[in-house]
Chain A
Amino acid sequence: MLSGELRATAGRVRLRGADVTHFPPDRLSRMGVGRSYQTANVFPELTCEECMWLAAQSRAHTSMIFFSPAARIAGAERALQACGLMARRSTRAGELSYGEQRQLEIGMVLATEPSLLLLDEPLAGLGHDEASRIVALLREVARDRTLVLVEHDMDAVFSIADTVTVLVGGRVLERGSPEQIRASPAVREAYLGTEQP
């Protein structure tokens, strides 16, 4: 709903004060909302470089350019570098490991130079090493951008987030800094209760 893919039946979504409730995804993206998906959602038949090119080209005023060949874009190169896929630039996205696809996924969002990133479970289905690489990348990204992250991996959440909102059954249970959440009895009870001594 925040990224415009689902229609809101009630309520309002505001972005920097503007009502964007019924804006389509492409318009939100051009307003600086970047979104990544829960499962790697890349262009399997294109190379990493081409995927990144498409992401960066989306910031051009128009891509209705018919007669001059597509040129390399600095933003695409930077994003490839940032997500650590420089060495894999000519590999097809579909042939990457799942972890690399997630890196590419986040790199593509970065190439659109968003001011707000919506990340849906960026660590889902990743091994430990891959997850820590993504966490490092996200920490880097979060330094000068707003990140909204949905994640089950608590270690990752505590190491990236400034503010944590805990949901139980679709309702907000608690909201606060990682320390507050860690100390919250309600959260403990809901999520950690049976496991913690």
Chain B
Amino acid sequence: MIARILLVAGALALLAVGFSGDRFWLQFMGKAMIGCIFAMSLDLLVGYTGLVSLAHAAFFGLAAYLLAGLSNAAGFVNPLATLPICLAGAAAAALVIGWLSLRAAGVYFIMVTLAFTQMFYYLFNDAPGLGGSDGLYVQERPRFLGLDFSERTTAYFAIWIALVIVYLLLLRMLRAPFGHVLVGIRANEQRMRSLGYPTRRYKLTAFVIAGTLAGLCGYLDATLYGFVNPAQFSWRQSGLVLMTVLLGGKGTLYGPALGALLLTFVEHYGERVTEHWNALIGALVIAVVLFLPRGLAGLLRD
């Protein structure tokens, strides 16, 4: 109950930031909310299905580059066209990567997903036609019906709406039979198979859904910043979002979102205190894992 009130209050607070008109805060909180969606989508895999994937950054980066490509090469600006294409691209990549990676289990699955992320990183980092290590500008950002998403306020509200929709969508999905099957797979996959569930198909479906949502984050990020770069594919991004999920509390959905908000703030204020702010995050993660095994969400629940 307390968690629910805090959740609604948090969503309204985030909405209120949108009316501030402050350029810094709009971008800062916009980025934080994208982090929320990113972490929640990974939680579907890590927390609910029991799949630790390091491929999440690949889908993020792919959709972001797709938006840049569509805008720069084809002049597509209508999000009704670019959004479905970018999501479909991320989904297709997730289907292929998931189909291949899910043949492995446990730590091998983690390594295969990591290998795919690295492949994408070097592809986009080294190919000059794709902007190389400098990245690309999105020359024309999405706009339609008089809404220009290069306006930070407009982009911010779009991200807020996406966050609310994704949260409700995932919540609904987890309460449906599909979500229960995923939890069963996490708890005891062998038993699920002997009960008659083709478990790999369910894991692949979850992987594609999570990958598509990661693609949505990439799309929103490229829209907000108007810039894409290969660092978005780096395994550091994949690792960071995994850390966010653990920090917030896996298997809770709102926990990882909370973790993403916290990490954004720690990163921002940590940078001012010391250039070794990464060490701060490391210490924070160690402390949470040791003393709050259920993450920040565990605090709210007790």
Interface of A with B (CB < 8 Å)?
A: 3, 5, 24-27, 29-30, 35, 37, 41-46, 50, 53-55, 57-60, 63-70, 108, 112
Contact of B131 with A by CB under 8 A: no
Please determine whether A69 and B181 come into contact, CB atoms closer than 8 angstroms.
Answer: no
Given contacts A57-B177, A67-B173, A70-B177, A29 and B188 within 8 Å (CB-CB): no
From B147-155, B196-204, B218-226, B252-260, the one touching the partner chain is B196-204
Please determine whether A67 and B180 come into contact, CB atoms closer than 8 angstroms.
Answer: no
Given contacts A35-B194, A54-B192, A70 and B180 within 8 Å (CB-CB): yes
Chain A residues near B177 (CB-CB < 8 A): 57, 60, 63-65, 68, 70
Please determine whether A67 and B193 come into contact, CB atoms closer than 8 angstroms.
Answer: no
Contact of B195 with A by CB under 8 A: yes
| Min CB–CB distance B45 → chain A (angstroms) | 16
Contact of B184 with A by CB under 8 A: yes
Given contacts A41-B188, A46-B183, A46-B184, A66 and B172 within 8 Å (CB-CB): yes
Given contacts A43-B191, A45-B187, A69-B175, A53 and B180 within 8 Å (CB-CB): yes
| Min CB–CB distance B172 → chain A (angstroms) | 6
Q: List 21 A-B contacts (CB under 8 A).
A: A24-B193, A25-B193, A25-B194, A26-B196, A29-B193, A29-B194, A42-B188, A46-B187, A53-B180, A54-B192, A54-B195, A58-B195, A63-B181, A63-B197, A66-B173, A66-B178, A70-B176, A70-B177, A70-B179, A108-B191, A112-B195
Please determine whether A57 and B181 come into contact, CB atoms closer than 8 angstroms.
Answer: yes
| Min CB–CB distance A171 → chain B (angstroms) | 28
Please determine whether A58 and B197 come into contact, CB atoms closer than 8 angstroms.
Answer: yes
Q: Measured between alpha carbons, how far is A45 from B194 in the docked complex, in Å?
A: 18
Please determine whether B196 and A29 come into contact, CB atoms closer than 8 angstroms.
Answer: yes
10 new A-B contacts at CB < 8 Å, known A26-B194, A68-B177: A3-B194, A26-B193, A26-B198, A27-B198, A29-B195, A58-B195, A64-B177, A67-B176, A69-B176, A112-B196
Q: Measured between alpha carbons, how far is A58 from B193 in the docked complex, in Å?
A: 10
The number of chain B residues touching the other chain, given as a range, is: 20 to 34
User: A60 — nearest CB in chain B belongs to which residue?
Assistant: B177
Interface of B with A (CB < 8 Å)?
A: 172-173, 175-181, 183-184, 187-188, 190-199, 202, 205
User: B175 — nearest CB in chain A belongs to which residue?
Assistant: A69
Q: Measured between alpha carbons, how far is A59 from B181 in the docked complex, in Å?
A: 13
| Min CB–CB distance B59 → chain A (angstroms) | 19
Please determine whether B196 and A64 come into contact, CB atoms closer than 8 angstroms.
Answer: no
Chain A residues near B193 (CB-CB < 8 A): 24-26, 29
| Min CB–CB distance B67 → chain A (angstroms) | 26
Please determine whether B176 and A59 come into contact, CB atoms closer than 8 angstroms.
Answer: no
User: B201 — nearest CB in chain A belongs to which residue?
Assistant: A64
Q: Measured between alpha carbons, how far is A129 from B192 in the docked complex, in Å?
A: 29
| Min CB–CB distance B180 → chain A (angstroms) | 5
Given contacts A54-B181, A63-B178, A68-B176, A43 and B187 within 8 Å (CB-CB): yes
Chain A residues near B196 (CB-CB < 8 A): 26, 29-30, 58-59, 112
Chain B residues near A55 (CB-CB < 8 A): 195
Chain A residues near B202 (CB-CB < 8 A): 63-64
Chain B residues near A26 (CB-CB < 8 A): 192-199
Chain B residues near A24 (CB-CB < 8 A): 193, 198
Q: Measured between alpha carbons, how far is A112 from B191 in the docked complex, in Å?
A: 12
Please determine whether A5 and B176 come into contact, CB atoms closer than 8 angstroms.
Answer: no
| Min CB–CB distance B181 → chain A (angstroms) | 5
| Min CB–CB distance A121 → chain B (angstroms) | 16
